[in-house]
Amino acid sequence: MSVIRVAWGRATAPTALSAYDAALAAANVHNYNLISLSSVIPADAPIERVDTAPDLGPAGEGLHVVQSHEIVEPGSDRPAVAGVGWLRSESGRGIFYEVSGTDRDDVETAIREGIAAGRELRDWDFDAEPKLQIETADPDPDEHAAAVVIAAYGQSEPLL
């Protein structure tokens, strides 16, 4: 079974999309076509926090991810905050929960509440405490600021 790597990044740039792309670059997942997943963790998949992802395959391929991202406008008085939390069951199965916003405490609270709700939906015996990764990008007076947290499933795959 492949590894799920949790990577994160933050950046500023002249446009919202370029700030997002630069934050993805800080996490080293900017050269992939990101394919969004619905947040269920397979039983046998190890999860590693890696800050910056290693090379996950050729540029342009698809990479399956659970992703949180936030972008704020130039001159914002609030930061961009992205977070992903996860919780494993005794069997190894688990759930990710992704939240973004402009207040770190609100993002953390929403992740914890979401994981608690997801836990209630499943008849699994879970570990006691979720793990969280939250990234914050401070606002910039002249540029957009972006924060991302990505849980990348395994290696990239050809799209064509």
* pLDDT tens by residue, 6-37: 999 999 999 999 999 999 999 999 999 999 99
Single pTM value for the model: 0.96
Closest CA to 34 of 81, 67, 12, 74: 67
Strand 62-72: give its sheet, edge to edge.
33-36, 62-72, 144-153, 4-13, 47-51
Confidence of residue 89 (pLDDT cuts 50, 70, 90): very high
pLDDT of 1: 67
In angstroms, rounded to a whole number, what is the distance separating the alpha carbons of residues 100 and 36?
15
**pLDDT, tens digit, 9 for 90 and up, residues 104-151:** 999 999 999 999 999 999 999 997 799 999 999 999 999 999 999 999
pLDDT of 127: 72
pLDDT of 53: 98
> Is the pLDDT confidence value at 72 over 70?
yes
3-state secondary structure at position 83:
strand
pLDDT of 24: 98
In angstroms, rounded to a whole number, what is the distance separating the alpha carbons of residues 59 and 45?
24
> Is the pLDDT confidence value at 79 over 70?
yes
Domains of the chain listed by start with CATH number: 4-153 (3.50.20.10)
3-state secondary structure at position 111:
helix
